Amino acid sequence: MRIGALLLALMIVALCVPTSALSEELGFAGAGTQNCGVLARQAIPGRGPTQNNFTAMIFSWVQGYMSGFNGYSYMVNGRTFDLGSASPEAQWEYIVSFCRSNPNTPIVKAIQEMQFKLLNVMPPRQ
């Protein structure tokens, strides 16, 4: 029960932090609209996306973003990223490394960089 209450409190705090201009420009919402500096302060490299409630929440948002991007990309051009072509741990470590090097950049940019650098593009389906 205490863990659930703590998780709820952390989520509320994370969502109350002012979001970046990116969220206003592109209509993004949620924890992933923050700048990388927020993630870099909370994530310890090598400990994976479930090292604490904040990082688990961010990675959950990351996975949702990538799934949504794939759905849109499939509708528009029939192509998607193979989300299984790199392990979740490798995806997370790339994002954390990017964010530590680019604290003023939106987390979404870290995700996009990781997609193009680590993930394979699936051939178009007919």
Question: What pLDDT sits at residue 118?
Answer: 95
Question: pLDDT per residue over 62-74, tens digit each?
Answer: 999 999 999 998 9
Please state the pTM of the whole predicted model: 0.77
- Output the average pLDDT for the chain: 82
Question: pLDDT per residue over 24-49, tens digit each?
Answer: 555 677 877 889 999 999 999 999 99
pLDDT at residue 3 is higher than 60:
no
- Higher pLDDT: 78 or 12? It is 78
Whether 80 contacts 122, CB under 8 Å: yes
Whether 46 contacts 93, CB under 8 Å: yes
Residue 121 phi/psi, 5-degree rounding, is: -90, 130
Question: pLDDT per residue over 90-116, tens digit each?
Answer: 999 999 999 999 999 999 999 999 999
Q: Would you place residue 19 in the very low, low, confident or very high pLDDT band (cuts 50, 70, 90)?
A: very low
Q: How far is CA 17 from CA 20, 23, 82, 113, in A?
A: 9, 12, 32, 24
Question: HEC states along the chain?
Answer: CHHHHHHHHHHHHHHHCCCCHHHHHHCCCCHHHCEHHHHHHHCCCCCCCCCCHHHHHHHHHHHHHHHHHHHHHHHHHCCCEECCCCCHHHHHHHHHHHHHHCCCCEHHHHHHHHHHHHCEECCCCC
* For the chain, domain boundaries: 2-121
